[in-house]
């Protein structure tokens, strides 16, 4: 009997070693040297990565035990050649039944508690106003609006004052963040009839301009404006009622039922794109993979997430905000550039007007880091960088240093 246990342990260790070799090595190192996970640019993401690797190792151990026993049983308890008889009939084993209920329950509980602790650490002051002054709580707020199919961002101090000092400042369509500041993202999916009308108008204008080269019409970030102020209960209720009316009219029409003029009008207000009706009253999800944290953008409901970007985005880094919720035909194109800059550059960027921001895109801000921190006149420098990157889209640091 003792020898058998030793053999079984051997099988488990053997399976574990094989599983580890074919899982962990490519996971950590990867075929291309990058491993499974993208770069890490947030202070909170480290704990999530640790959790991820911890759970991967835990899964490997369980896999090794299960597969070790299966392989051992196949080898040692297989029927002898010519033996066509039934196997031994075994009925009930209280000890085993307790074990296979208790052990998985403990594992699930441990996973749940560890995940809770990690998420809790990342959410200082997110849902608790009293804790919002504690260290680790947000120092800045970004209002995030997801719409079909794009993103818009507006920046505020944590007291809710617009960063640029201009309440009517046009939201940015790219996400630019200062390094080493905890940022709280207030996330919402655009909805409401006014939007539908405005998007419809915008999209048909884009299409009329014959801009067929673009797969998706560029929709101005301003379309989410009404949503910035969707703070009262009445506003939210009105938005919900709009959504319900639209949905009911759509369902009625889909079921082949007669719809009245009012319902027809509701449906007519939905924007069309390439002949398809686009419903913007859908959910999205706000995600920067390199920051790890992700939150749903729900129509009519604010959701929150916060993280601290801790790496200035260099010229070779290419990070994006992506939508992580299948939201329609343009879902795969629902992404925009994001970048992290030093505090001085951010303060300068936040005050730029709409016109000047056209040059200060993430692509150009990334190249600006080639000049090091000591840029005397950012207005001039960004204009030069913008000119360079237009002439040479693959321009790298050498070209920037040489020409500027
Ligand atoms: Cu999506």
Condensed to tens digits (0 to 9), the pLDDT of residues 84-142 reads 888 888 888 899 999 999 999 999 999 999 999 988 888 887 877 777 777 778 888 89
Count of all residues that appear for the chain in the document? 404
CATH 2.60.40.420 intervals, the chain: 131-311+318-336
CA distance 384 to 359: 9
Cβ-Cβ contacts under 8 Å for 25 (sequence gap 6 or more): none
Condensed to tens digits (0 to 9), the pLDDT of residues 240-285 reads 677 678 778 888 888 899 889 988 887 776 655 444 455 556 789 9
Q: Would you state the pLDDT for residue 86?
A: 86
Lowest-confidence segment of 100-104, 197-201, 214-218, 273-277 by average pLDDT = 214-218
pLDDT grade for 390, boundaries at 50, 70 and 90: confident
For the segment 64-69, the average pLDDT, to the nearest whole number, is 90
Percentage of residues in the chain with pLDDT exceeding 90?
22
C-alpha 323 to ligand 1 mean position (Å): 4
Q: Would you state the pLDDT for residue 294?
A: 93
Helix then strand then coil, in percent of the chain rounded to 5, is 50, 15, 35
- In this structure, the strands spanning 335-341 and 175-178 are parallel
For the segment 231-247, the average pLDDT, to the nearest whole number, is 69
C-alpha 404 to ligand 1 mean position (Å): 39
Query: Best-predicted range by mean pLDDT among 28-32, 133-137, 207-211, 224-228?
Result: 133-137
Condensed to tens digits (0 to 9), the pLDDT of residues 142-157 reads 988 887 778 888 888 8
Contacts of 157-162 with C-beta under 8 Å, sequence gap 24+, read 158/132, 158/184
Lowest-confidence segment of 108-112, 269-273, 288-292, 384-388 by average pLDDT = 269-273
- Please provide the CATH number assigned to the domain covering 131-311+318-336: 2.60.40.420
C-alpha 335 to ligand 1 mean position (Å): 9
C-alpha angle 26-27-31 in degrees, rounded to nearest 5: 35
C-alpha 147 to ligand 1 mean position (Å): 9
229 or 399, which is more confident?
Answer: 399
Condensed to tens digits (0 to 9), the pLDDT of residues 316-353 reads 889 999 999 998 777 888 889 999 999 989 988 988 88
C-alpha 370 to ligand 1 mean position (Å): 33
Q: Would you state the pLDDT for residue 300?
A: 61
The whole model's pTM is what?
Answer: 0.74
Lowest-confidence segment of 43-52, 219-228, 286-295 by average pLDDT = 219-228
C-alpha 239 to ligand 1 mean position (Å): 20
C-alpha 279 to ligand 1 mean position (Å): 12
Collapse the DSSP code of 3 into the 3-class scheme (helix H, G, I; strand E, B; otherwise coil) and give the result: helix
For the segment 193-221, the average pLDDT, to the nearest whole number, is 47
DSSP assignment, residue 170? P
Residue 224 has pLDDT above 60, yes or no: no
**Integer angstrom CA distances of residue 370 from 3, 178, 336:** 65, 17, 22
C-alpha 261 to ligand 1 mean position (Å): 32
Residue 212 has pLDDT above 60, yes or no: no
* Buried-exposed string 230-243: b where 16+ CB fall within 10 A, e elsewhere: beeeeebebbbebb
C-alpha 291 to ligand 1 mean position (Å): 18
CA distance 250 to 247: 5
For the segment 362-375, the average pLDDT, to the nearest whole number, is 82
CA distance 62 to 106: 13
């Amino acid at each position: 009997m003792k020898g058998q246990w030793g053999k079984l342990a051997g099988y488990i260790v053997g399976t574990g070693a094989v599983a580890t070799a074919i899982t962990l090595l490519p996971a950590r190192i990867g075929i291309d040297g990058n491993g499974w996970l993208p770069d890490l640019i947030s202070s909170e993401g480290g704990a999530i990565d640790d959790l991820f690797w911890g759970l991967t190792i835990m899964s490997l151990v369980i896999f090794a035990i299960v597969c070790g026993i299966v392989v051992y049983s196949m080898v040692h308890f297989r029927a002898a050649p010519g033996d066509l008889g039934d196997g031994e009939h075994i009925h009930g084993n209280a000890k085993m039944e307790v074990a296979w209920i208790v052990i998985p329950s403990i594992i699930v509980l441990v996973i749940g508690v560890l995940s809770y602790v990690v998420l809790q650490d990342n959410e200082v002051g997110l849902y608790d106003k009293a804790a919002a002054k504690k260290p680790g709580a947000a120092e800045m707020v970004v209002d995030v609006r997801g719409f079909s199919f794009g993103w818009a961002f507006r920046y505020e101090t944590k007291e809710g004052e617009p960063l640029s000092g201009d309440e009517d400042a046009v939201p940015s369509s790219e996400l630019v963040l200062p390094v080493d500041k905890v940022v709280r993202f207030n996330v919402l999916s655009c909805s409401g009839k006014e939007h539908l009308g405005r998007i419809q108008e915008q999209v048909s204008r884009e299409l009329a301009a014959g801009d067929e080269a673009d797969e998706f019409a560029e929709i101005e970030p301003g379309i989410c404006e009404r949503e910035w102020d969707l703070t009262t209960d009445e506003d939210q209720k009105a938005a919900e009622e709009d959504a319900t009316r639209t949905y009911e009219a759509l369902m009625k029409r889909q079921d082949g039922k007669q719809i009245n003029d009012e319902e027809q009008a509701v449906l007519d207000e939905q924007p069309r794109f390439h002949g398809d009706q686009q419903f913007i009253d859908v959910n999205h999800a706000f995600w920067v993979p390199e920051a790890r944290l992700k939150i749903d953008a729900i129509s009519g409901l604010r959701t929150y997430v916060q993280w601290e970007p801790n790496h200035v985005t260099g010229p070779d880094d290419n990070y994006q905000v992506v939508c992580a919720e299948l939201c329609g035909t343009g879902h795969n194109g629902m992404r925009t550039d994001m970048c992290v800059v030093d505090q001085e550059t951010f303060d300068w960027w936040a005050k730029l007007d709409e016109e000047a921001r056209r040059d200060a895109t993430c692509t150009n801000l990334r190249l600006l880091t080639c000049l090091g921190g000591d840029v005397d006149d950012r207005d001039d420098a960004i204009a030069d960088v913008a000119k360079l990157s237009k002439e040479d889209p693959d321009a790298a640091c050498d070209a920037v240093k040489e020409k500027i």
